Amino acid sequence: MSTVIRIGTSTCGQAAGAESVVSAVNAYVDRRQVPVTVQRTGCLGACHNEPLVEVTDNDVAVLYGPVSPERVSLVLDRHFGGGGGRWVDPSWILSRRPDHDDFPFLARQTKVTTRLCGVIDPMSLDDYLANGGYMALRDALRMPPEKVIAAVKDSRLRGRGGAGFSTGTKWEITRRQPASPKFLICNADEGDPGAFMNRTMIEGDPHRVLEGMLIAAWAIGASKGYLYVRAEYPLAVKALRNAIRQAAEYGVTGKNILGSGLDFEFVIKEGAGAFVCGEETALMHSIEGQRGTPSMRPPYPSVAGLWGYPTNINNVESFASIPSILLHGPAWFAALGTEQSGGTKAFALTGAVRASGLVEVPLGTPLRTLVEEIGGGCKSDRPVKAVQLGGPSGGCVPAELLDTRIDYEDLRRTGAIMGSGGMVVVDDTTCMVDFARYFLTFTQDESCGKCVPCRVGTRKMLGILTKICHGQGTHQDLERLTRLCETVRTGSLCGLGTTAPNPVLTTMRYFEREYVAHVDAGLCPAGICSMRPGTSTRAA
């Protein structure tokens, strides 16, 4: 094996300047005439150290980061001689082992869906095949569809888009519908601000998602699959287009796939920037070319979805889990997680945390492991105040409850939700009232306006929160806010509204003293709110 230099060039890598690093590496290779392969990969997840450069050879594998273009020749001289033994800062060396076991950020993770992200070239089908790609599809196509569904059920995989419904059961319901054709939708809208799990998976290993969808198509009897990708992800769309073209050439899309009799084609639909379009019924309206507003359920998409036909909709990560379930068996997958939910879950760990990035851990892992061991606590060296899960639909878990296990039920008991994987850590310089107000600004803005509780309710809630942040709130306002939360939660048409009060409810539950300080003493304990009417607080 010759030497390979890998550079992570996902959106996050590019934001850190990876393109100039690629140029610098290529220039170095040309100048020094060293026999190496330069490979662009997705993201390893260690985004806080990007740009990442890994040099691997038969017996060496060294991961460096952050590698700015100026550091390229220093780093590469270590491997190819020259430079007169110039000094490389030891802190740039993240790992010296191929399995990265010496790099705490990666060593504490269990990678299933993101196993090949940052390892293979996402534009190369050969790379995917060399790592067991499309083997699971071959296995699945030799099994009766019912057996595939049984395997997915046994794996205890639950939807990764947020609601956590059993994926196998959803497939079974869709399969049982007499109507045809049947459709498949991959939800890659990823609208939660502060979340990038799906982007990383698609940009880093697009074929895995396609393979998962193909297996679902076989199990359900679907003939067409839509990939609904949000507008802000141009690189993900590019990776998918390329992967779909390669899949067609390889013969895993089109007619009579691998001689199984399955006909299936992929269609990419680019979103147009509306958070509510992540909601399944709104998403389907958007695919139909209409305004993306939700509809009443039932009927559920499995019964009457796109154009009224049975439609199975799953999140990117749900589909990406499928190939491993078939390859390693449902029992293996189930054993990774807890009694109620199998497998691993990816989280976008961001905010005040020291080591931010994409983290995949088995379900049942305590929150503390992510925040403290993997994330390394707060970069400000201040105490962690809370962890916000699930974005604008989610809630805050206070530092006292960091030993909560990551599982759908355990998290719901705290008032927060698993959500799709956004995990924002805040330290004690954050005002929780202002934080709640920030999320309400978002939901109020993104409410599609179809139902009154959500359209008007979120507006009124935001008004009260703003009043409190300006030191004008009263105890009556707090009571009104609590009542409004209840009305919006129970009365809204779709999940956007029913979950919108969560950030308020959880902060009121765990940080009531801060609300009271704003109201009683006209004081913001964190010193964030300006406490003067008319002036804006930090929340834009």
Partner 1 sequence: MHRRVSANPIRRFNYQGDPLAEPAPADLMEILDRYRGQRDALITVLEEIQARYSFLPAKHLQYASRELGFPLAQVYGISTFYNVFKLTAPGRYQVRVCKGTACHVNRSSAMLDHLSEKLGIHEDETTADGLFTLQTVACMGACSLAPVMVINDQTYGRMTPDLSWEILSELVATERPRV
Binding site for ligand FES (CB under 6 A): 193-194
Residues counted in the chain: 540
**Of 452, 460, 440, the residue nearest 501 (C-alpha):** 440
Closest CB to partner 1 among residues 13, 362 = 13
Closest CB to ligand FES among residues 98, 193 = 193
Binding string, 176-215, against ligand FMN, x = CB under 6 A? -----------x-xxx------------------------
Q: Provide the pairing of β-strand 344-351 with 422-427.
A: parallel
Task: Choose the contact partner of 473 out of ligand FES, partner 1, ligand FMN, none; CB within 5 to 8 A by kind.
Answer: none
Task: Choose the contact partner of 94 out of ligand FMN, ligand FES, partner 1, none; CB within 5 to 8 A by kind.
Answer: none
Distance CA 190, CA 440 (A): 18
Distance CA 246, CA 125 (A): 7
What minimum distance in Å lies between the beta carbon of 422 and partner 1?
A: 7
* Token pair belonging to 72: 């390229």
Distance CA 460, CA 453 (A): 10
* Token pair belonging to 311: 């439609």
What minimum distance in Å lies between the beta carbon of 270 and ligand FMN?
A: 14
What minimum distance in Å lies between the beta carbon of 438 and partner 1?
A: 6
What minimum distance in Å lies between the beta carbon of 311 and ligand FMN?
A: 11
Closest CB to ligand FMN among residues 53, 195 = 195
Task: Choose the contact partner of 159 out of ligand FES, ligand FMN, partner 1, none; CB within 5 to 8 A by kind.
Answer: ligand FMN
Task: Choose the contact partner of 470 out of partner 1, ligand FMN, ligand FES, none; CB within 5 to 8 A by kind.
Answer: none
Q: Pick the binder of ligand FMN from 278, 310, 323, 364 (CB under 6 A).
A: 278
Distance CA 43, CA 200 (A): 6
CA 6 to chain centre: 23
DSSP single-letter state for residue 213: H
* Cα separation values, 31 from 25, 113, 335, Å: 10, 38, 51
Q: Pick the binder of ligand FMN from 118, 122, 162, 357 (CB under 6 A).
A: 162
Task: Choose the contact partner of 234 out of ligand FES, partner 1, ligand FMN, none; CB within 5 to 8 A by kind.
Answer: partner 1
Closest CB to partner 1 among residues 161, 342 = 161
DSSP single-letter state for residue 52: P
Angle at 295 between CA 289 and CA 298, to 5 degrees: 125
Map tokens 């804006």 to a residue.
536
Closest CB to ligand FMN among residues 317, 477 = 317
What minimum distance in Å lies between the beta carbon of 194 and ligand FES?
A: 5
216 lies in the binding site for ligand FMN (CB under 6 A): no
Q: Would you call the peptide bond into 298 cis, given omega within 30 degrees of 0 as the criterion?
A: yes
* Contact set with partner 1 (CB under 8 A): 11-12, 14-16, 47-48, 50, 190-196, 199, 231-234, 269-275, 286-292, 348, 350-352, 356-358, 388, 391, 422, 424, 426, 430, 438-439, 442, 446, 448, 538-540
Distance CA 23, CA 32 (A): 14
* DSSP H/E element including 225: strand 224-229
**Of 127, 76, 410, 406, the residue nearest 246 (C-alpha):** 127
